[in-house]
Amino acid sequence: MDLSGEKKIVEEAKKNPEVFGELYDEFYKPIFNYILRRTSDIEEAQDLASQTFFKALKGLGEFHWQNISFSAWLYRIATNEVNSFYRKRGSIIRISIDKIPNIPSLDTANNDFEMAEKELKNKEEFKKLHQNIQKLSPIYQTVITLRFFEKKKISEICEIVGKPEGTIKSQIHRALEDLRKIME
């Protein structure tokens, strides 16, 4: 959805909450995937995505187009929800990697041993990477997830976290350095 279409639907949704369903349909999947990558827990991601959209609907009347798109505003709400979730929990939740979707199962490729071995290695590497990302500070987790998993441009990350470009570039650089140290 382009920015003008997004703006039109948001303005309509302010007048008629039923139109908010179009925004939900458009943005639920990317917001859910972002939260899932931050939490690695499908149920928590569903709950946090629901809370994100509930807060967006509730605060829609207060949303104004001031150098931030609606989608960036949703990511900002989602980021705050995830950070709040971790603050309330007080620690990192460890779950089985099997709960994360879109990772090939070991039953594929006609039980080909080499393929299964490769998939297991990829699964273990992904698990280790995710565990190490979770050791970073929340802002570093946010910028790493947005940049490398959500494939957001620097300018989009700036909108989402509300910081200038130089700060975001610096945070990404520091996050990668910290991640490198953790992984060594």
Give pTM, 2 decimals: 0.69
CATH number, domain of 2, equals: 1.10.1740.10
Domain extent at residue 48: 1-92
User: Is residue 175 domain-resident?
Assistant: no
pLDDT digit of tens for each residue in the chain (184 aa)? 666 677 788 888 888 888 888 889 999 999 999 998 888 888 899 999 999 999 998 988 887 777 678 889 999 999 999 999 988 876 544 555 455 555 444 444 344 456 656 666 667 777 788 888 889 999 999 999 999 888 999 999 998 888 999 999 999 999 999 999 998 8
Q: Is residue 42 part of a domain?
A: yes
Q: Alpha-carbon torsion 48, 42, 30, 38, what sign?
A: positive
Domain count, the chain: 1
Contacts 24+ apart (CB under 8 A), 99-102: 99/40, 99/41, 99/42, 100/36, 100/40, 100/42, 100/126, 100/130, 101/36, 101/42
